[in-house]
Amino acid sequence: MTLHNTITVPNFDEFNGEVYTQVITPVQDIVFEGANAAQRIIFDSAWLGLFGFSLIISLILATISIYSMLRIRQIRKRENEYYAKQPLSSVARRVFDMDDTTTEGSAHRLRWRDVLRHVSSENKNDWRQAILEADVMLDDVITSRGYSGESLGEKMKQVKRNDINSIEEAWEAHKYRNRVAHEGSSFDLTHRDVKRVIGLYEKVFKELGYKLD
């Protein structure tokens, strides 16, 4: 009698598939999830770090800007106070018909009193004269600060808001003056408008350190 032994050969393909499914795939998933989590953490940390750095730089720049603006205003105020007390040049004294002791500040006060005298009149021609004289004073003041040009308008175009805060008021007053000068008697002046415009000139002069009282 012949005995036959049957040997069963394992199916390694099925075994490898089960191992891959049960062991390798979960491990890969864990590794991928860990890598993604690490990337998110690194990205979030980098973004927060960049945001914090940008915020600090912005605060520093804002502080420097504010300090610089305040410092510039202090310096200009001192300059205006200084020059307002300085004697007029020989040319200016001839123009204003002043003596050697007259300062720029006192000359402006005298001219301003004349402007107010015209404003207080009941005569419209005096009101026109007040506007024209105030504009001439504005031209002198702008010129004295180093601005040049053939007209007051050209000079004021060079002025920046942080140089003269009331430059918009100066423009409004100057445009009103142009209407008075160009339209002549056909331009209907009202006492109220004249007083308001003279107030605009006064605001500019006082900002620049001229004592008009």
d(CA 204, CA 131) in angstroms, rounded, equals 14
- Share above pLDDT 90 across residues of the chain, in percent, rounded to a whole number: 27
Contacts (Cβ under 8 Å, ≥6 apart) of 78: none
Question: Per the confidence metrics, is the pTM higher than 0.75?
Answer: no
Mean pLDDT (whole number) for 29-48: 69
In terms of average pLDDT, the best of 38-42, 102-106, 136-140 is: 136-140
Predicted local distance difference test score (pLDDT) of residue 133: 92
- Which tokens sit at 146? 């180093």
Higher pLDDT: 117 or 1? It is 117
d(CA 142, CA 158) in angstroms, rounded, equals 10
CB neighbours of residue 42 within 10 Å = 10
The per-residue pLDDT for range 123-137, each reduced to its tens digit, is 999 999 999 999 999
Mean pLDDT (whole number) for 44-66: 81
- Which tokens sit at 46? 């980098």
- Share above pLDDT 70 across residues of the chain, in percent, rounded to a whole number: 65
Predicted local distance difference test score (pLDDT) of residue 72: 72
CB neighbours of residue 103 within 10 Å = 15
Mean pLDDT (whole number) for 19-48: 65
The two counts, helices (H) then strands (E), for the chain are 8, 0
Mean pLDDT (whole number) for 147-173: 90
d(CA 50, CA 18) in angstroms, rounded, equals 47
Q: Does residue 30 surpass a pLDDT of 60?
A: yes
**Is the distance from CB of 152 to CB of 162 less than 8 angstroms?**
no
| Nearest residue to 96 (alpha-carbon basis) of 129, 136, 127, 132 | 136
Predicted local distance difference test score (pLDDT) of residue 79: 56
Average pLDDT, the chain: 76
Predicted local distance difference test score (pLDDT) of residue 110: 82
Predicted local distance difference test score (pLDDT) of residue 47: 75
Predicted local distance difference test score (pLDDT) of residue 111: 86
Cα distances (angstroms) measured from residue 3 to each of 10, 150, 181: 22, 128, 136
Q: Does residue 84 surpass a pLDDT of 60?
A: no
Higher pLDDT: 53 or 201? It is 201
Q: Where are the domains of the chain?
A: 12-84, 90-207
**Is the distance from CB of 142 to CB of 157 less than 8 angstroms?**
no
